[in-house]
Each structure stands twice: as C-alpha cells, then as structure tokens.
Amino acid sequence: MKEKTTRSGSPGNDDLRREYRFDYSRTKPNRFAPQFAAGSVAVVLDPDVASVFRTSESVNVLLRSVLAAMRRMAQRGATRRRGGSNSALRRTGANGKRGTRS
C-alpha cells in the first residue's frame, strides 16, 4: 500500500514547517503570572475604556453593579410575567383614548 503524503509532498505528519519549529530551551517564565490569582481571566480593554478604568478593582466594581442590576431586572420581569398588571398593553380606541373599543 502506498504511504499517504501531506500537501507539501513529504510523507507522514512528523515534519513541521520551518516557521513552526520552536526552540523551547530559549523560553523565559511568564513575568506576569504572579499577578493573577488562581482562576483569574485576563481581558484586554480597548484604549478608550482602559483610560477610564485604571485598576482591575474599578472594572470589577462596575461589572458587579451591572450584574446586580441585571438580576434585579430579571426578578422584576419574572414577577410581572406571573400576573402583574398589563395596563401598558390596553387597547386604544380609534380616537387614541384608552379604554374605548373601536
């Protein structure tokens, strides 16, 4: 049986292109690793956003307040859906007044 070749024409998958060869003996430890707690996620901010938020604490404070507001909105929406008033959805008559039927 004939051996399969890769697109470059060389047999097998062990051959890497020159640009994919990496000399791991020349690597250095990540100098930023100690700044991150376990489970942290690094996020890159756009320059205009980064100019407002100088610290990770300021970003976290804002994001926590947004999350709390989202939870409150979800709770309000759930109570409204369970049987709250639909006064905003009443029909309007032909003359534009509420409560009249056309």
pLDDT at 9 over 60: no
How does DSSP assign 21-65, residue by residue?
A: ---GGG----TTGGGSPTT----PPPHHHHTT--SHHHHHHHHHH
Give 19's DSSP letter.
Answer: G
Alpha-carbon gap, residue 50 to 58, rounded angstroms = 11
Q: What's the average model confidence in pLDDT over 91-101?
A: 60
Higher pLDDT, 10 or 94: 94
pLDDT at 60 over 90: yes
Entry pTM: 0.43
Higher pLDDT, 72 or 101: 72
Which stretch, 8-17, 55-64, 77-86, has highest mean pLDDT? 55-64
